Structure 1
Amino acid sequence: MPSFLEAPVAGAYHLLTSLVTAIEPLAGSYAAVIAIVVCTLVVRLCLVPLSVRAHRGLRARAELMPQLKKLSDRHRGDPERLQRELAKLQAESGTSVFAGLLPTLAQFPFFWLMYTLFSRAMVAGESNQLISGSLLGAPLGLHWPVLTGTPAFLVLAVLLGVVAWFSARLQLRQLDETATPLSRRLARILPFGTLLSAAFLPLAAGLYLLTTTAWTVVERTILQR
């Protein structure tokens, strides 16, 4: 790892271990689990302004769909003109094709830190204390293929599947009548990518995915209302 990345990893490690130490007298071996959930919730709470902005951008873009469709039909044979007209319309309305990606992009650094902290035996020049934490008896540093058949794997897999199902329903609800069959199919399938992703990640990262996707479902439900 490049040396300039070691500083944030070490800082995150000391912050998380301090939180685990504070929680441990009450939570025991589940202190690291609670620390991951708490840190994830704090990060998502800090990203609420971005989520609100992204939701407003998506709503504004949905309102522009009839105009976007007219432009696409009018300039179908001239891709360059179409791109210019689409860019002009988006600039005038203040919308962007990346409107819904801001909260996701902002989470990448935190996700990378979480993966790094639970994938290394040594962090900040000392033995990694975080990987000694466990969930239902399974160490947080283990990857899911090793955990297959354990209660921790089964519980997280079921919960991720339930959250993905609710997420798919929300995404389908957001689509309008102009959505293509492919868009609807992707809206049904893509949320379940968390299950596939978790298969290649440490158990701690799976716990992060569960917490952040559950937050997203609740947040979108509130914003849509």
Structure 2
Amino acid sequence: MNIYEFPPIELLVNAAYWIVTWLSALLEPLAGTASAALAVVVLTIAVRCLLIPVGLSQVKAGITRKRLAPKIAELQARHKKNPELMQQKLMELYKEEKTSPIAGCLPVLAQMPVLMAVYGIFIQPTISGHTNELLSHSLLGIPLNTGFVRLLGAGDLTPVTLTVYAVIVVVIAVVAGLSRHLLTPAAPETNARQQSEATQNAPVTQNSVAGTPAVPDLSGVMKTLSFMPFITAVIALFVPLAAALYLMTTTSWTLCERIVLNRLLKADEIPDAAQKSSAG
């Protein structure tokens, strides 16, 4: 079954197609043949503006994790020989702070349907039973429905194509590097190890199974998420050019948005766990 025939996704694709087509016609006097490409960028920015509350929740969750890191490290060190009690104390801490160890992780998936829609409108030959007019649009002579890897396989690469994709990949990679440097909080190296060791050494008892739920160790997840922008640079080479433009725009927006929100919420004024640990 074609996933784009699934009613909710089909509705989303139809809406994205209508918006991009309308924007493309609106921008054509200004952008000419690049109007559809510019329409994708404008749509991306519009969607990210709507998702600012999601970004705000992510920043708040990051601030909470940063603020609680020393307390969590202290509980893990104090109760490392009693993992059941440690889990109980950690859950009590999260409940007291009205947060969760996974807070801020799920919102990052909020824009995935939009990427799927943008991808869909540049690979579907027909939309709502009509010929997909967007498939005839291009950027500097590069079809928006064709990806770098496909052009490479067909031997259709040109200096312009190489330049455009080089710009996209470099922008995403630079943004990724800046994001890891500026936005990834330092965390105590012992936290994940202590919790992992405590869990491995914990006796399997009735209380540990039916009692307080374990606090998930998200250190690996957070580390993986910090590498996502780099992975995005690779993905941009495989998807249609329109989707690659979306990825470049959304990753750049994310960096700027997080910097602004961090300053507005004064996230940088909270010492990270590593600084507190070294100070103590």
Q: Answer yes or no: same fold by TM over 0.5.
A: yes
Q: Which residue of 2 aligns with 1:213?
A: 251
Q: Which residue of 1 aligns with 2:200?
A: none
Comparing both chains, which one has the higher relative contact order based on Cα–Cα distances under 8 Å and sequence gaps of 6 or more? 2
Q: Which residue of 2 aligns with 1:37?
A: 41
Q: How does 1:11-90 map to 2 (within 5 A)?
A: 11-90=15-94
Q: Which residue of 2 aligns with 1:121?
A: 125
Q: SS at the partner of 2:101? A: coil
2:171 to 133, 141, 159: 159
Q: CA deviation at 1:57?
A: 1.8
> Cα deviations across residues 84-137 of structure 1 (Å, max 9, x unaligned)?
332221121122233333542211111111111112121111111112222222
2-structure distance, mates of 1:158, 1:54: 26
Q: Which residue of 2 aligns with 1:192?
A: 230
1-structure distance, mates of 2:236, 2:69: 35
Which letter maps to 2:179?
S
Q: Which residue of 2 aligns with 1:8?
A: 12
Q: Which moved more, 1:3-12 or 1:37-46?
A: 3-12
Q: Which residue of 2 aligns with 1:130?
A: 134
Q: Which residue of 1 aligns with 2:205?
A: none
2-structure distance, mates of 1:194, 1:215: 14
Greater share of helix residues, 1 or 2?
1
2-structure distance, mates of 1:129, 1:140: 11
Q: How many residues align?
A: 223
In structure 1, the gaps of 5 or more residues are none
Which letter maps to 2:141?
G
Which letter maps to 1:220?
R
Which letter maps to 1:193?
I
Q: CA deviation at 1:216?
A: 0.8
2-structure distance, mates of 1:58, 1:20: 38
> Cα deviations across residues 136-171 of structure 1 (Å, max 9, x unaligned)?
221111022034552322221222222222122123
2-structure distance, mates of 1:121, 1:202: 14
Q: Which residue of 2 aligns with 1:106?
A: 110
Q: Which moved more, 1:57-66 or 1:101-110?
A: 101-110
2-structure distance, mates of 1:45, 1:179: 36
Q: CA deviation at 1:39?
A: 0.9
Structure label with greater radius of gyration: 2
- Residues 50/126 of structure 1: CA separation in 2 closer, same or farther (3 Å cut): same
Q: Which residue of 1 aligns with 2:210?
A: none
Identity %: 38
Q: CA deviation at 1:4?
A: 4.2
1-structure distance, mates of 2:224, 2:21: 39
8 Å CA contact 1:147–1:153 kept in 2: the answer is no
Q: Which residue of 2 aligns with 1:175?
A: 186
8 Å CA contact 2:169–2:234 kept in 1: the answer is no
2-structure distance, mates of 1:24, 1:107: 27
2-structure distance, mates of 1:98, 1:169: 22
Q: Which moved more, 1:84-93 or 1:117-126?
A: 84-93
In structure 2, the gaps of 5 or more residues are 193-218, 264-280
8 Å CA contact 1:19–1:35 kept in 2: the answer is yes
Q: How high is the TM-score relative to the length of structure 1? A: 0.87
Q: Which residue of 1 aligns with 2:261?
A: 223
Q: SS at the partner of 1:95? A: coil
